[in-house]
Amino acid sequence: MTADDAAPPLTLTLTVAEVFGPTPAGDDPLLSELAGVAMACAEAASLILVEGLEGSPQSVDTKSSATDMVSAVDHRAEAVISRILSERRPDDGVLGEEGTARPGSTDVRWVVDPLDGTTNYLFGIPQFAVSVAAEVSGTTVVGIVMDPSKRETWAAVQGWGARCNGAPARVATGRSTLATALVATGFGYLSARREWQGAVAAGVIPRVRDIRRFGSAALDLCWTAGGRYDAYYEWGLNPWDLAAGALICAEAGGRVEAFPGRLIVATTPELFGPFCDLLASAGATDIPPGPEPKFW
């Protein structure tokens, strides 16, 4: 994606109600406050991503493997989110993918991925997003996934429903059977693990319509929420990969579950059982090779 293709974040002039939907009568005012803070964080980080596309080539390091990249933009975006949280919610806990981790003295913890889809971003593929979620007592109650390339903001508050650009989002209930389901997935960074995941995908693809792999777990969950996919599965995600997207998908009427072995499955309600049976028969519930990724 070129600088001319880049679009500014969506919610710079919008209210919480326009992004997350109207506040239900009698709802906890904390939820609206957290939603507003999440919006501010996602907006600021999205601006960093857009500015990075217009600047000089990014300095890049690696993490778990030579293919697991992290750029200066990842760090700058996380830093601006951390600063906003320090100013507006200084007593909350924070967990960010790029190393921000601090305990809090409240029941609130923020789970942040400042750039989900770093490889896509660095290769000029317009499939990346900022993901910000707020947990209260361990339960995700607010989630926002901002996609600056496509001018889309996905958002949900627990009990309010899910929205994309302010319009209600719903999973594609009743559209597909297992044989006609369009499925998304993702792969890990270690070669042996990708080989295993490829074998699982080979067992899945003859039994469904097709498989897509675009490289952003947060957007895969949101696209399932919006009916662009019928189902999504992936092994080994961390909280920052899925916290916001999982809430958005669930609030859109989807069923999202985590299984032993770090398998995440998100589908329409009626596809959940048949799709899980298919994944089990394809070996997705087996223990994959390589070290167990961290799960905070």
pLDDT in tens, 9-60: 444 567 899 999 999 988 899 999 999 999 999 999 999 999 888 755 456 5
Instruction: Classify residue 150 by its DSSP letter.
Output: T
Closest C-alpha to 256, from 207, 18, 243, 198: 243
Domain 3-168 homologous superfamily, CATH: Fructose-1,6-Bisphosphatase, subunit A, domain 1 (3.30.540.10)
Residue ranges, comma separated, of all CATH 3.30.540.10 domains in the chain are 3-168
Q: Which residues pair with 101 in a beta bridge?
A: 95
Query: At 75, is the pLDDT very low, low, confident or very high (cuts 50, 70, 90)?
Result: confident
Going by C-alpha positions, the residue among 78, 57, 260, 227 that lies closest to residue 154 is: 227
Average of pLDDT values for 232-253?
96
pLDDT digits (tens, 9 = 90+) for 133-158: 999 999 999 999 999 999 999 999 99
The segment(s) of the chain belonging to CATH 3.40.190.80 are: 178-281
Please say if the pLDDT value at position 247 is more than 80: yes
Q: Tell how far CA 49 is from the center of its chain.
A: 16
The whole-model pTM stands at 0.90
Range with lowest mean pLDDT among 3-12, 203-212, 280-289: 3-12
Q: 3-state DSSP call for residue 116?
A: strand
What per-residue confidence (pLDDT) applies to 57? 47
199-241 pLDDT, tens digit per residue, is: 999 999 999 999 999 999 999 999 999 999 999 999 989 999 9
Q: Which CATH number fits domain 178-281: 3.30.390.50, 3.40.30.10, 3.40.1190.20, 3.40.190.80?
A: 3.40.190.80
Q: 3-class secondary structure for 157-190?
A: ECCCEEEECCEEECCCCCCCCHHHCEEEECCCCC
Q: How far is it, in rounded angstroms, from Cα 290 to Cα 105?
A: 36
DSSP result, 22-64? PPPTT--HHHHHHHHHHHHHHHHHHHHHHHHHHSSPPPEEESS
3-state secondary structure of 252: coil
